[in-house]
Amino acid sequence: MSLHPILRKCWMKRGQRKLIPAPGQQQWEHLFGAYNWRSDCVSWQFAPKKNSASFIAFIEYLMTVCYPTQKVIVVTDNASYHKSKASLAALSLFEDRLHVIWLPPYNPFLNPIERFWRHLKDLACANKLFSGLQALTDSVRYALTQQNNHLNPDRFVFLKNFHSTA
Protein backbone atom coordinates (compact mmCIF):
# COMPACT_ATOMS: atom_id res chain seq x y z
CA MET A 1 0.00 0.00 0.00
CA SER A 2 1.24 3.43 -0.80
CA LEU A 3 0.08 6.99 -0.31
CA HIS A 4 -0.16 7.53 -4.05
CA PRO A 5 -3.86 7.27 -4.82
CA ILE A 6 -5.27 4.23 -6.62
CA LEU A 7 -7.53 5.58 -9.31
CA ARG A 8 -10.52 3.69 -10.61
CA LYS A 9 -13.28 4.92 -12.89
CA CYS A 10 -14.24 8.58 -12.59
CA TRP A 11 -16.05 11.21 -14.63
CA MET A 12 -14.71 14.41 -16.11
CA LYS A 13 -15.97 16.84 -18.69
CA ARG A 14 -14.98 16.16 -22.28
CA GLY A 15 -11.79 17.97 -23.14
CA GLN A 16 -10.86 18.59 -19.51
CA ARG A 17 -8.35 16.67 -17.47
CA LYS A 18 -9.15 15.93 -13.86
CA LEU A 19 -6.28 16.75 -11.51
CA ILE A 20 -5.70 14.37 -8.64
CA PRO A 21 -3.55 15.58 -5.73
CA ALA A 22 -0.80 13.24 -4.62
CA PRO A 23 1.63 13.26 -1.69
CA GLY A 24 5.10 14.61 -2.28
CA GLN A 25 7.16 11.72 -0.95
CA GLN A 26 6.20 8.12 -1.51
CA GLN A 27 5.51 6.10 1.63
CA TRP A 28 4.79 2.38 1.83
CA GLU A 29 3.19 -0.05 4.24
CA HIS A 30 3.32 -3.71 3.33
CA LEU A 31 0.60 -6.24 3.96
CA PHE A 32 0.88 -10.01 4.04
CA GLY A 33 -2.36 -11.92 3.81
CA ALA A 34 -3.91 -15.35 3.43
CA TYR A 35 -7.41 -15.94 2.10
CA ASN A 36 -9.28 -18.87 3.64
CA TRP A 37 -11.17 -20.49 0.76
CA ARG A 38 -13.69 -22.23 3.04
CA SER A 39 -14.66 -19.28 5.24
CA ASP A 40 -13.89 -16.36 2.89
CA CYS A 41 -12.02 -14.79 5.82
CA VAL A 42 -8.57 -13.25 5.66
CA SER A 43 -5.63 -13.49 8.04
CA TRP A 44 -3.20 -10.61 7.71
CA GLN A 45 -0.19 -8.81 9.12
CA PHE A 46 1.26 -5.41 8.35
CA ALA A 47 5.01 -5.25 7.87
CA PRO A 48 7.44 -2.34 7.45
CA LYS A 49 9.32 -4.21 4.70
CA LYS A 50 8.48 -6.82 2.11
CA ASN A 51 11.30 -9.29 2.70
CA SER A 52 12.07 -12.81 3.93
CA ALA A 53 11.93 -11.86 7.60
CA SER A 54 8.44 -10.37 7.23
CA PHE A 55 7.26 -13.35 5.17
CA ILE A 56 8.59 -15.78 7.79
CA ALA A 57 6.90 -13.81 10.57
CA PHE A 58 3.63 -14.04 8.67
CA ILE A 59 3.96 -17.80 8.10
CA GLU A 60 4.70 -18.27 11.81
CA TYR A 61 1.65 -16.16 12.68
CA LEU A 62 -0.51 -18.15 10.28
CA MET A 63 0.66 -21.53 11.57
CA THR A 64 0.83 -20.79 15.31
CA VAL A 65 -1.93 -18.23 15.91
CA CYS A 66 -4.48 -18.56 13.09
CA TYR A 67 -4.27 -22.31 12.42
CA PRO A 68 -2.30 -23.86 15.31
CA THR A 69 -3.40 -27.45 14.66
CA GLN A 70 -4.98 -27.48 11.20
CA LYS A 71 -3.39 -28.48 7.94
CA VAL A 72 -2.86 -25.46 5.70
CA ILE A 73 -2.37 -25.07 1.97
CA VAL A 74 -0.58 -21.90 0.92
CA VAL A 75 -0.61 -20.81 -2.72
CA THR A 76 2.27 -18.48 -3.40
CA ASP A 77 4.06 -16.87 -6.28
CA ASN A 78 7.77 -16.82 -6.95
CA ALA A 79 8.72 -13.61 -5.18
CA SER A 80 12.37 -13.79 -4.17
CA TYR A 81 11.55 -13.49 -0.47
CA HIS A 82 9.20 -16.50 -0.74
CA LYS A 83 12.00 -18.70 -2.07
CA SER A 84 14.97 -17.44 -0.05
CA LYS A 85 16.97 -19.98 1.95
CA ALA A 86 15.62 -18.55 5.20
CA SER A 87 12.01 -18.71 3.96
CA LEU A 88 12.37 -22.27 2.68
CA ALA A 89 13.90 -23.31 6.02
CA ALA A 90 10.99 -21.69 7.89
CA LEU A 91 8.43 -23.38 5.64
CA SER A 92 10.09 -26.73 6.29
CA LEU A 93 9.49 -26.32 10.03
CA PHE A 94 5.78 -26.77 9.38
CA GLU A 95 6.05 -29.42 6.65
CA ASP A 96 3.83 -31.85 8.58
CA ARG A 97 0.90 -29.39 8.36
CA LEU A 98 1.82 -26.95 5.60
CA HIS A 99 1.60 -27.69 1.90
CA VAL A 100 2.95 -24.97 -0.41
CA ILE A 101 1.75 -24.70 -3.98
CA TRP A 102 4.21 -22.70 -6.06
CA LEU A 103 2.60 -20.88 -8.96
CA PRO A 104 4.39 -20.54 -12.29
CA PRO A 105 6.22 -17.23 -12.73
CA TYR A 106 4.17 -14.26 -13.95
CA ASN A 107 0.75 -15.88 -13.41
CA PRO A 108 -0.91 -13.83 -10.66
CA PHE A 109 -4.36 -14.60 -12.10
CA LEU A 110 -3.99 -18.16 -10.74
CA ASN A 111 -3.82 -16.99 -7.13
CA PRO A 112 -7.21 -16.27 -5.51
CA ILE A 113 -5.71 -13.74 -3.10
CA GLU A 114 -4.95 -11.43 -6.05
CA ARG A 115 -8.68 -10.98 -6.67
CA PHE A 116 -9.14 -10.25 -3.00
CA TRP A 117 -6.35 -7.61 -3.07
CA ARG A 118 -8.20 -5.87 -5.93
CA HIS A 119 -11.43 -5.92 -3.92
CA LEU A 120 -9.63 -4.61 -0.82
CA LYS A 121 -8.05 -1.74 -2.75
CA ASP A 122 -11.43 -0.86 -4.27
CA LEU A 123 -13.06 -0.70 -0.82
CA ALA A 124 -10.30 0.84 1.25
CA CYS A 125 -8.10 2.87 -1.07
CA ALA A 126 -9.51 3.61 -4.53
CA ASN A 127 -10.24 7.22 -5.41
CA LYS A 128 -9.22 8.40 -1.94
CA LEU A 129 -6.39 10.65 -0.84
CA PHE A 130 -5.12 9.92 2.65
CA SER A 131 -3.52 12.51 4.91
CA GLY A 132 -0.85 10.04 5.98
CA LEU A 133 0.17 6.42 6.15
CA GLN A 134 -1.73 5.87 9.40
CA ALA A 135 -5.01 6.98 7.81
CA LEU A 136 -4.39 4.58 4.91
CA THR A 137 -3.60 1.63 7.20
CA ASP A 138 -6.66 2.44 9.33
CA SER A 139 -8.87 2.29 6.24
CA VAL A 140 -7.32 -1.00 5.13
CA ARG A 141 -7.53 -2.48 8.64
CA TYR A 142 -11.23 -1.57 8.81
CA ALA A 143 -11.93 -3.19 5.41
CA LEU A 144 -10.02 -6.33 6.46
CA THR A 145 -11.98 -6.53 9.70
CA GLN A 146 -15.23 -6.13 7.77
CA GLN A 147 -14.18 -8.95 5.43
CA ASN A 148 -14.21 -11.31 8.40
CA ASN A 149 -17.69 -10.17 9.46
CA HIS A 150 -20.04 -12.67 7.79
CA LEU A 151 -22.94 -10.20 7.93
CA ASN A 152 -21.07 -7.53 5.95
CA PRO A 153 -22.63 -7.16 2.47
CA ASP A 154 -19.36 -5.80 1.02
CA ARG A 155 -17.25 -8.83 1.86
CA PHE A 156 -15.42 -10.63 -0.92
CA VAL A 157 -16.77 -14.12 -1.53
CA PHE A 158 -15.79 -16.62 -4.17
CA LEU A 159 -18.67 -18.38 -5.84
CA LYS A 160 -18.18 -22.04 -5.03
CA ASN A 161 -20.52 -24.03 -7.24
CA PHE A 162 -19.19 -27.53 -7.44
CA HIS A 163 -21.21 -29.80 -9.68
CA SER A 164 -20.78 -33.51 -9.59
CA THR A 165 -20.84 -35.24 -12.95
CA ALA A 166 -21.03 -38.70 -11.41
Write down the pLDDT at residue 163: 60
Write down the pLDDT at residue 164: 57
Residue 5: inside a domain: no
Question: For the segment 33-76, what is each residue's pLDDT rounded down to a tens digit?
Answer: 999 988 889 999 999 999 999 999 999 999 999 999 999 999 99
Residue 6: inside a domain: no
Please state, for a pLDDT cut of 90, what percent of the chain lies above it. Answer: 60
Domain count, the chain: 1
Task: Residue 62: give the domain boundaries.
Answer: 30-145
Predicted TM-score of the model (pTM): 0.83
With beta carbons less than 8 A apart as the criterion, state whether 6 and 127 touch. Answer: yes
Residue 157: inside a domain: no
Tell me the CATH number at 44.
3.30.420.10
Residue 129: inside a domain: yes
Strands (E) in the chain, as ranges, are 30-35, 42-47, 72-76, 98-102
Count of positions (residues) in the chain: 166
Write down the pLDDT at residue 8: 78
User: How many other C-beta atoms can be found within 10 angstroms of the C-beta atom of residue 42?
Assistant: 20
- Distance (Å, whole) CA 136 – CA 145: 14
Q: Is the pLDDT of residue 23 over 90?
A: no
Residue 160: inside a domain: no
Question: For the segment 71-94, what is each residue's pLDDT rounded down to a tens digit?
Answer: 999 999 989 999 999 999 999 999
